[in-house]
Amino acid sequence: MTEEFHRIRRLPPYVFASVNQAKAAARARGEDIIDLGMGNPDSPTPPHIVQKLVETVQNPRAHGYSVSKGIPGLRKALAGYYERRFNVKLNPDTEVIATLGSKEGLANLASAITSPGDTILVPNPSYPIHQFGFIIAGASVRSIPATPDDTMLRALERAVRHSVPKPTALIVNFPSNPTAYLADLDFYKELVAFARREEIFILSDLAYAEIYFGDLVPPSILAVPGAKDIAVEFTSLSKTYCMAGWRMGFAAGNERLIAALTRIKSYLDYGAFTPIQVAAVAALNGPQDCVADIRALYKERRDVLIRGLHAGGWDVPSPEGSMFAWAPIPEPFREMGSVEFSKLLLKEAGVAVAPGLGFGEHGEGFVRIGLVENTQRLRQATRAIRGFLSAHGVKAPPSSASKPEPVES
């Protein structure tokens, strides 16, 4: 009776566990740890959304079981968002379902459409649920490059030729977690043409649709003509409106996939608490200046973080989207790997980051740094990191030697 249960055996030890344990131990000793390892928004939910929740929760009629697929007004609100933002028309009755966050939706769809032995194509590195949602459902996962370019497209062609059975579905995630890559509509057009030709479903994770900083505004794959023949897309209010703990997401697109998710969810849950769904309607239909404010906040944090790291000699690419920087481990530490580097950075600089290995074997050599602290704390973190790097022989570029980061009071 000591043998692991079958599905648990398919899950490897949690890569982040040792870093999280070290973080907890440091805090227990009273150390000030700046935690940039999580993807948890730290800003409050906009007041008009909270007010709608408070107003609705005071109505006793809203306290009963809700609707598993989402109340009609919420599904209509999501359809309205897609039409305004992406010029995509959706039928709220057959092409939209509310989920308990995009993570739950993707995992339950994996269970709905996967047979043991199916092959699923997943970018590597990627957010863990993209891979493990299907592994839990009994599928085999084949890794493909995570970059939205010809490298991924060529790998997809090879995967179809050399996989037995032929892949069932492909996962994409742009803006991506953890790599912060963005895709444009031309790339999606090629992806949709490939998937329609090979009769492969596409599951697009668009949780970071509104967190972008440059000229490229993240599109929806559903904006490609014919995409709804093979694609479903997951979105979330977690990052867009700082509603992570509210657990409100959506799936939209292909009717067959939406019907499969609807059916399996009807056996598993009664949907989100009705007041949360009503508040989500207020988020989608209400004033959107809060979204621009949240985007500007992350951009300011990104600039502070990247400037501070560059000043210490850590050449980290500036992300064009998402709430993360995907940072190659500095050369003197590369041999130790991402887990040990993360633990050393925590020990000597008091800054927690996420080891890249936790996002797949091709994430080794990187760490993910979250934009989840205010600018004062980010400046504090980069000063500590600069001291850490200097102590290990990493030299700051000459241009930054006389330009220390400003200190906020």
At 289, the amino acid letter reads D
Q: What is the pLDDT of residue 409?
A: 33
Q: Is 80 exposed, middle or buried (0-12, 13-18, 19+ CB in 10 A)?
A: middle
CA dihedral 198, 203, 208, 213 (to 10 degrees): 0
User: Could you tell me how many residues make up the chain?
Assistant: 409
Round to whole Å and give the CA distance between 99 and 390: 47
Round to whole Å and give the CA distance between 121 and 117: 13
Q: What is the pLDDT of residue 1?
A: 59
Q: Nearest Cα to 169, choosing from 129, 136, 134?
A: 134
Q: What is the pLDDT of residue 10?
A: 78
In the predicted structure, residue 312 carries a pLDDT above the cut 50: yes
Confidence bin at 408 (pLDDT 50/70/90):
very low
Are 242 and 43 contacting, i.e. CB atoms less than 8 angstroms apart?
A: yes
Round to whole Å and give the CA distance between 287 and 47: 11
Are 189 and 227 contacting, i.e. CB atoms less than 8 angstroms apart?
A: no
pLDDT digits (tens, 9 = 90+) for 11-37: 777 777 778 888 889 889 998 999 999
The pair phi, psi for residue 22, each rounded to 5°, is -65, -40
Are 259 and 234 contacting, i.e. CB atoms less than 8 angstroms apart?
A: no
Q: CB neighbours of 392 closer than 8 A, spacing ≥ 6?
A: 332, 333
Q: CB neighbours of 265 closer than 8 A, spacing ≥ 6?
A: 68, 69, 97, 99, 108, 271
3-state secondary structure of 232: strand
Per the omega criterion (within 30 degrees of 0), is the bond before 125 cis? yes
Round to whole Å and give the CA distance between 173 and 180: 9
Helix, strand, coil shares of the chain as percentages rounded to 5?
A: 50, 15, 40
User: Residue 354's beta-bridge partner residues?
Assistant: 368
Confidence bin at 114 (pLDDT 50/70/90):
very high
Q: What is the pLDDT of residue 164?
A: 84
| CATH 3.90.1150.10 placement within the chain | 6-44+289-392
Confidence bin at 133 (pLDDT 50/70/90):
very high
Integer-rounded Cα Rg, in Å, for the chain is 22
Q: What is the pLDDT of residue 404?
A: 47
At 26, the amino acid letter reads A
The pair phi, psi for residue 396, each rounded to 5°, is -75, 150
Round to whole Å and give the CA distance between 275 and 86: 27
Task: Check residues 228 and 404 and name the one with the higher pLDDT.
Answer: 228
Retrieve residue 231's tokens. 């694609």
| CATH 3.40.640.10 placement within the chain | 47-286
- Could you tell me what percent of the chain has a pLDDT over 70? 97
Are 108 and 262 contacting, i.e. CB atoms less than 8 angstroms apart?
A: no
Round to whole Å and give the CA distance between 19 and 3: 27
CA distances from residue 394 to 57, 313, 359, 387, 390 in whole angstroms, order as listed: 55, 6, 27, 9, 5
Q: What is the pLDDT of residue 2?
A: 66
Are 148 and 174 contacting, i.e. CB atoms less than 8 angstroms apart?
A: yes
Superfamily name with CATH number, domain 6-44+289-392: Aspartate Aminotransferase, domain 1 (3.90.1150.10)
Task: Check residues 273 and 11 and name the one with the higher pLDDT.
Answer: 273
3-state secondary structure of 148: coil
Helix and strand tally (H, E) in the chain? 13, 12
Return the CATH architecture of domain 47-286: 3-Layer(aba) Sandwich (3.40)
Q: Nearest Cα to 253, choosing from 230, 285, 280, 281?
A: 230
Round to whole Å and give the CA distance between 126 and 58: 41
